[in-house]
A = this chain, B = another copy of it.
Amino acid sequence: MTLSREMLEASPLASELPVEAVAAAIDASLACQQSCASCADSDLAEEDVAAMARCVALCVACADVCTTTARVLSRRFAANHRVTHHILRACVLACSDCAEECERHAAHHRHCALCAKTCRACVSACQGLLTAEEFAALENLAGA
């Protein structure tokens, strides 16, 4: 059991969302926040930095969205599931964009290969949470 999972289990409030899926999304977004901050930094130091500009921009944005995702998912008191829904969808999109760009550079920059993998894992974890039964009823609300 990861620390995030243990922290969620220790809350005095019952969870309306599946704890395992929430913990997985927290862990994935924390890892992605780090890999994106690091990848953007490495991109800037590469000789082909001009070709990496788009990667830097997407990594920097993804790191910010992931930071907020991890925080929003770590809270249960007075949490609004529609906020969670939109943050998760923003996170899936930001991580997908970032993964796609990093994959283009994966063969020649190991940091991009690693970061792409972390982004894909975050997409998967956030989508897993979004498609949990508990969120099903929110889809209509959120699309309203």
Return the chain B residue nearest A87 by Cβ.
B90
Assess whether A61 is interfacial by the CB under 8 Å rule: yes
Q: How many identical chains are in the complex? A: 4
B contact residues around A13 at 8 Å (CB) = 42, 45
Q: Are B83 and A65 in contact (CB under 8 A)?
A: yes
Tell me which of B61, B77, B101 contacts A72 (CB under 8 A). B61
Q: Are A110 and B45 in contact (CB under 8 A)?
A: no
Assess whether A123 is interfacial by the CB under 8 Å rule: no
B contact residues around A47 at 8 Å (CB) = 12
Assess whether A68 is interfacial by the CB under 8 Å rule: yes
A87-B90, A114-B3 in contact; A67/B67 too (CB < 8 A)? yes
